[in-house]
Amino acid sequence: MQIKSFTLAEVLTTIGIIGIVAAMTLPNIINKAEKYILKNQFRKTYSVLQQALLKSQADLGYKPACFYIKPGGKLTTTSNNQGGIRTECLILSQTLMKNLNIIAHCKNNAYPTCIPKYKGFDTIKLEDNPDMTEDEVHAQLNGIKSYWQSNILYKNPVYVLADGQIVFSGTYTTIDPALFAVDINGKKGPNKWGYDLFIFNTLSDDISDLQIGALASYPVEKGGVTTHEMIKQMHDK
């Protein structure tokens, strides 16, 4: 009985087809794997922040008035400011930093020592609206100017945790627990808003403990997901 073998041309054709199929499907598989990894990292970050926040409240023995009120989003206030941050937030910030495993601190000029070159909310909006001028964008984003790129890179204080996560906020003195940003995997890529870089808020009401969450839909880069949506996906599963 004669066994029929494949010709060299047939083998090469088969290998070529396999290569084409792999080239078409592999990027999608890699993309899904990367998103899965980042979702798990987000879950870890959320847990770390929530545990540190609750421990800080327990250490203080009371709930500092430094949070956005659920669900309306009104910010609690105190009459006295210190260094651009409300007094109660300053108290909570000092305690919170003791409960986060911080290994490095850049007081300002954080780029490139502590952070990669992040985009700012202003540069994202400029990219999404090429017809707008920089002045027009800055006028629209004046309320969150501390998250303009130049301020992120050269003014905001940055804290690096032992596991590589990066925490920074819009105050120029310390972390503002009511509103801050976290790069959930540190300097590893992609370093994009809505992928591995997210804005968090501290939330509460008259009876609840402090809770990590998200209120407003801050700008994200193309294809990115808001913090609010990430938290929703996390709780849905």
pLDDT tens figures, 137-194: 999 998 888 899 999 999 999 999 999 999 998 776 788 888 899 999 999 999 999 9
Amino acid at 70: K
Pair 206, 228: CB distance under 8 Å: no
36 is written with which tokens?
A: 């899965």
pTM summary value = 0.83
Mean pLDDT of 187-213: 91
Looking at per-residue pLDDT, the higher value among 25 and 195 belongs to: 195
Say if residue 17's pLDDT is above 50: yes
CA distance 193 to 83: 27
CA distance 120 to 73: 23
Distances (CA, A) of 105 to 132, 153, 171, 206: 35, 14, 14, 34
Of 190, 137, 204, 147, give the one whose Cα is nearest residue 170: 147
Contacts of 6-9 with CB under 8 Å at 24 or more apart are none
Phi/psi region, residue 83 (left: phi>0; alpha: psi -120 to 50; beta: rest), is: left
